[in-house]
Amino acid sequence: SHRHPGLPIVSPRWLHDGSGVIVQINTQVDGRQTSAFHFVDVRTGTFRRLFDRDTNGRARTGVGTVSPDDKTLYLGVRNNPGGPITGIVGVDLATGVERPVLTLPGTGIAGGIGLAVSPDGSTLAVMALVAPAPVTGTQGAFFGPGGEARIFTVGVDGSSYREVYGPCANGAGSLIADKMRW
């Protein structure tokens, strides 16, 4: 068993080939917290840093979904930390290069998201918490039980945006990241 400091309560994402998981690790740098994604080799337990969670003054979500070919991590993105999710991006796991997938209409998504990619890798399904019930806790603002969610799909190339379901009551609060499955 291997230990690593800075692992937050964010579910790891398995690579489809079973070789490892993608995790987020938080560290303190000059008195402020930074986060980066790491690959964990499940055979050896070794950690390899991939890329920063946030980039260019924008905050990416800590949870996402891995493409079936294990090359891309899809994440939500916020124009500013703590703000609404304004888009979805794909980040190349080998290079850390980000490409836009979708800019969300209007003001974006107020709460969290859950992402799932189709088995053929062509489409993302997104569960979006659109009307969260805010709660303030010791870790800052988060979203408590209640609120409303909706589901939409979009091609990984940004095409074919389609509302699928909702809004509907969401009893899980912001804990929707692991509820979305294809």
Note the pTM of the prediction, 2 decimals: 0.85
As a whole number of angstroms, the distance between CA 26 and CA 54 comes to 12
Closest to 132 measured CA to CA, from 115, 121, 120, 145: 145
pLDDT category, 69, cuts 50, 70, 90?
very high
- List pLDDT tens digits, range 72-107: 999 999 988 778 899 999 999 999 999 999 998 888
* pLDDT score of 172 more than 50: yes
